[in-house]
Amino acid sequence: MLELPFGGFVIDTPGIRAFGIVELKKEEIYHFFPEIFEFSKSCKYYNCLHINEPECAVKDAVEDGSIPWWRYKSYLNIVLDENDKHRVKDVSS
Ligand SMILES: [Zn+2]
């Protein structure tokens, strides 16, 4: 965060800016969450989105506290848009 001479601050948020500009694939979003990416290696399915897939190592890690809940939640907020929320159940099929 930079303080400007005329007052105010600039908050440098490269991650957020990237999300706004680049059209990311859902399968790539978790690459920006290092701890989620780390656990995702143990997921059963290589294309796991860590939402409601079976045998998801990321969800397990969230449950046992290895991944902070707020990190997982911000991940979900990016992955799921309004159109997705009703078809989440189809993701793993
Ligand atoms: Zn997963």
Domain of residue 50, CATH code? 1.10.40.50
Integer Cα distance of 13 and 1 in angstroms: 9
Gap from CA of 30 to ligand 1 centroid (Å)? 10
Integer Cα distance of 56 and 14 in angstroms: 29
**Of residues 67, 66, 63, 25, the one with CA closest to residue 47:** 25
* In-domain check, residue 20: no
Residue 81: which domain range? 25-90
Gap from CA of 40 to ligand 1 centroid (Å)? 5
Measured between alpha carbons, how far is residue 15 from residues 22, 58, 84, 91 in Å?
Answer: 10, 21, 22, 25
CB atoms within 10 A of CB 56: 21
* In-domain check, residue 52: yes
The 10s digit of each residue's pLDDT in 47-58 is 899 998 999 999
Gap from CA of 57 to ligand 1 centroid (Å)? 5
* In-domain check, residue 85: yes
Number of domains present in the structure of the chain:
1
Residue 31 is classified by DSSP as G
* In-domain check, residue 3: no
Confidence of residue 10 (pLDDT cuts 50, 70, 90): low
The 10s digit of each residue's pLDDT in 16-74 is 444 444 556 777 778 888 999 999 999 999 889 999 899 999 999 999 999 999 999 98
The owner of tokens 């809940």 is 69
* In-domain check, residue 5: no
For residue 87, the model assigns a pLDDT of 53
* In-domain check, residue 1: no
* In-domain check, residue 7: no
